[in-house]
Chains A and B, each alone.
Chain A
Amino acid sequence: MTKATELTDDGLLARMIAGDEDAFTLLYRRRHPSIYRFALHMSGSAAIAEDVTQEVFMALIRDPRRFDPARGTLGGFLFGVARNFLRKRWEQDRRLVALDGDANDIGEHSVNGNGAGGAASRNGAHANGNGWHGVAGADEFATREMISRVRGAVATLPENYREIVILCDLEEMSYEEAASALGCPVGTVRSRLHRGRAILLEKLRDAQGARRVPVVRT
């Protein structure tokens, strides 16, 4: 007999539907960290991330047959549910990270917009020759500060770019996995990631222009 730990997500879900509590526990422990981190990065709030994680798996308990294996992976389905809860939360509660100012600064849509990208370009570095440089050998303090700035820049990305950067760069999903999670074509994932990272560089250049803190190779 197959051990529960060896089962695929679909296998665990089938057992869970049959009432197997251990299967649910295993599935939760396997899948919830990425959902939690996604919600945390998207919202900037641990409390919201906890709520969203709970709601996502509550939804799975209450109506597990909403997941259709023909339409993607269970992981992708759970990310999709998490996105929906985050958006509902966003609509109900504006306590999420304020993004509008930064988005407007670079000619972008608001966080709930779905724009294909504005005029911000990597060529900012080309134009002023004052790009966001990596500096090897910097100390740990500088590393931490740099990471903090990048984290902050990610948190202020417009939503549709932020979720792609989180999935592809922080959760290290492939384009295909991210496309499944977001329910969009791979090409859209690639173009949004490209655009999102361009915006990140723009923000970091701006910040560096103001403070000249070196980037650190970790």
Chain B
Amino acid sequence: MSEMEKMESMSCNEFEEIVDDLDRPGTPGMALRERALAHAESCADCARLLTETESLDQALHAIASTEGEQQAPAWVESALLREFRFAKAGAGNSNFARHVAALGIAAAVLLAAGLSLQRFESAKGIGAAKGNQTAVSTSASATPGGVETASEFIALPYADDPDGVEGGTVVRVELSGQALASLGMPVSLAGSNGSVSADLLVSDDGTPQAIRLVSQEEGASQEF
């Protein structure tokens, strides 16, 4: 055997490796098809393997041809189309719900922004009110009932920023122990008669923002 023939010859192992690909486009086996066929001509075992492989290919091709038209029955498509319409309707409802939710969120944001703005505008008011605290106290102390003392304004628990309330109004009230508790104040502050005088700093929207307790005694002062 010449060197060229040796180079071009194929071993049985090589043949076996590529025999499945001899008719398969784009595979290394197809590229070596001529050499493989030449080998099979000189090797009885590989010739037999080639015949078997070709027979298998033909049988598989016949199955593919005869069964190639098989498909799922029409009811499957009908069921899927129902599901598709259902899913589409669901997606539509879901989109509507999302739009409603988005509008709701937008409205809430606008409302919050409006309230914030209102509180911001009121901030100067409480500042002014605080500035007038002395005057209030002073005027209160000028009442003819005796000496009146008052604590500093204390922020109520739910007030956002009572110090920032502008234009608030101070309202004198008489609070029971229960009312004190509802404002987050110690019930013990109520006097022996179960109530206590207090000034409420009320913002423009009518919300109490801060409280100070007032004591009115003849010639005495009470620190809180």
Bound-state Cα–Cα, A61 to B45, Å: 53
A58 to B53, CA, bound (A): 39
Which residues on the A side are within 8 Å of B64 (C-beta)?
169-172
A133–B52 touching, CB < 8 Å: yes
Contact B62 A147 (CB under 8 A): yes
Determine how close the nearest CB of chain B comes to the CB of A171; give it in whole angstroms: 7
Shortest beta-carbon distance from B61 to chain A in Å: 7
Instruction: Determine whether B111 belongs to the interface, using a CB cutoff of 8 Å to chain A.
Output: no
Question: Which residues of A lie under 8 Å from residue B120 when comparing CB positions?
Answer: none
Interface bin, chain B? 35 or more
> Is B219 engaged at the interface, CB distance under 8 Å to the other chain?
no
Provide the residues of chain A in CB contact with B88, threshold 8 Å.
Answer: 19, 21
Instruction: Establish whether residues A218 and B60, one from each chain, have CB atoms under 8 Å apart when the complex forms.
Output: no
Known: A131-B48, A134-B52, A197-B20. A215 touches B85 (CB 8 A): no
B84 touches A21 (CB 8 A): yes
User: B49 near A204 (CB under 8 angstroms)?
Assistant: no
Pick the contact of B80: A58, A129, A132, A193 (CB < 8 A). A58
Within B67-89, the residues touching A (CB, 8 Å) are: 67-73, 76-77, 79-81, 83-85, 87-88
With A21-B85, A170-B60 already in contact, the answer to whether A61 and B54 are too (CB < 8 A) is no
- A122: chain B residues at CB < 8 Å are 16, 19, 49, 52
Partner of B59, one of A16, A133, A147: A147
Residue of A nearest to B61 (CB): A218
Which residues of A lie under 8 Å from residue B72 when comparing CB positions?
A: 32-33, 36, 49-50, 53-54
- Give how many A residues have a beta carbon under 8 Å from the other chain's beta carbons: 54
User: In the bound complex, how far is the Cα of B69 from the Cα of A170, in angstroms?
Assistant: 12
The reply on B56 being an interface residue by CB < 8 A is yes
Query: With A25-B77, A54-B80 as given contacts, are A204 and B56 in contact (CB-CB < 8 Å)?
Result: yes
Q: Is A40 an interface residue (CB 8 A)?
A: yes
Chain A residues with Cβ below 8 Å from B24 are 175
Is there contact, CB below 8 Å, between A126 and B56?
A: no
Q: Confirm or deny: B38 has a beta carbon within 8 angstroms of a beta carbon on chain A.
A: no
Known contacts A54-B79, A143-B62, A147-B63, A197 near B87 by CB under 8 Å? no
Q: Does B26 contact A (CB under 8 A)?
A: yes
**Cα distance, A131 to B85, chains bound together (Å):** 56
Of B21, B70, B80, which one neighbours A28 at CB under 8 angstroms? B80
* B67 near A126: Cβ-Cβ < 8 Å: no
- Which A residues between 38 and 80 are near B, CB-CB below 8 angstroms? 40, 49-50, 53-54, 57-58, 61-62
Can you name 16 extra interface pairs (CB under 8 A) apart from A21-B81, A53-B72, A150-B59? A32-B71, A33-B69, A33-B72, A36-B70, A58-B80, A61-B80, A123-B45, A126-B49, A131-B52, A133-B55, A134-B51, A147-B59, A147-B62, A147-B66, A169-B57, A193-B20
Residues facing B in A199-218 (CB within 8 A) are 200-201, 204-205, 215-218
Q: What are 20 A-B contacts with C-beta separation under 8 Å?
A: A25-B81, A28-B77, A28-B80, A40-B67, A49-B72, A50-B76, A61-B83, A61-B84, A125-B45, A125-B49, A131-B52, A147-B59, A147-B66, A151-B63, A154-B63, A169-B60, A197-B20, A215-B52, A215-B59, A218-B62
B91 within 8 A of A: yes
Q: Which residues of A contact B71 (CB under 8 A)?
A: 32-33, 36-37
The minimal Cβ–Cβ distance linking B12 to chain A, given in whole angstroms, is 8
The reply on A15 being an interface residue by CB < 8 A is no
Which residues of chain B in 32-59 are interfacial with respect to chain A, using CB atoms and an 8 Å cutoff?
45, 48-49, 51-59
Instruction: Note all chain A residues with C-beta closer than 8 A to B63.
Output: 147, 150-151, 154, 170
Q: Is the CB of A50 within 8 A of B49?
A: no
Across the interface, do A37 and B70 meet the contact criterion of CB distance under 8 Å? Answer: yes
